[in-house]
Structure 1
Amino acid sequence: MNYLVRYFGFLLTVPLAGFSGDTQEVTVKRGEDVTLVCRAPREAAIEQLAWSRAEPKSHKYVFFLRNNRQFINSQLPSYRGRVKLMDPEMKDGNASVILRNITINDTGTYECRIGWSSTGRELISTIKLKVQDSDGAAGIMKDKDGIKIYASVGLLLGVLLVCVIVVVILRKCKHTKKIYKLSR
């Protein structure tokens, strides 16, 4: 009886532990690392962890772990060598992963599903990742939704310098014409 109370009490804490039902939005620049947060209940002995892309649907994963063993063959090729557990021991139910060297193709929705104590896999968190691609010196920021332009300090200083040079040259030419007229 005590076992049943603990088991059902544990199941009641699942929705409160990590999944609020809302999709979390995260924006990151290309080339950076990002932590995709996922937490099971503190007491959970995580037996299975699956991070996947919501689109496109695939039988492969971003990260898949069962009985503390990562399954590389089940991983999408574009994520191999770029994903690791934030805490390899998954203390206190921390099933977050770090995705390194973000690319524009990483933009999308990620789902974390955790299985413990033979409950099957439950959706714990959903993260919508937006990746911005920076063009650097020109200050052009792009994302998959379109292009946004930001003027950088270097670009503004360059334009200002060109304007000053043009003004100096024009004045010099004007001054030269005045001297030429006076000498005639």
Structure 2
Amino acid sequence: MRSAFVLAAILVTACGPSVDPGSHLSGRTSLQDRYPLSPQTSLTPGTTCKNASEYRYPERIPYCNRSVSTSLKNKIIKTYDSTFQYTIASMPRNDFKIDHYIPLCMGGSNDNTNLWPQHKSAYAYTDLLEQKLCLHMERGHMRQVAAIDYMKYAKNNLDEAERIDQEVDEIYGEL
């Protein structure tokens, strides 16, 4: 039994925590319960750019330049910690990025209602998909609404990110 536990601990350390987006709702029993695996939509429903610095893609998507101050990043972490009893602030800061729930390349905003502390174990699943979706928008293959729907679904269902990636390839073509 002990060897199975040690093996599991090695795998979690090497590969990151297992992905169970709903696990944070139960008791705090593991490392992954110390931070969100997906945005908490009560704080981070996702918002699009209202003050565009430019318009991109054939669809002319409003684009906001990246502008998230260190103080806003710290506020996001503090709010998530205090609201949901996470302990992000006590963890290594380089294990997290402040993620745009609706990515900037899809027309997302820099507003705090579009930002959340994303652990590296989560963005390992979503960052490449984000790039792919934005390239499809840039090439006119995909509309903004579809890209946002795919991205939000992937960020809330990490265990399905690979399937979503394959579906995008099947529907819109491989890049």
**Bigger share in strand:** 1
TM-score, length basis structure 1: 0.21
TM-score, length basis structure 2: 0.21
Larger radius of gyration, structure 1 or 2? Answer: 1
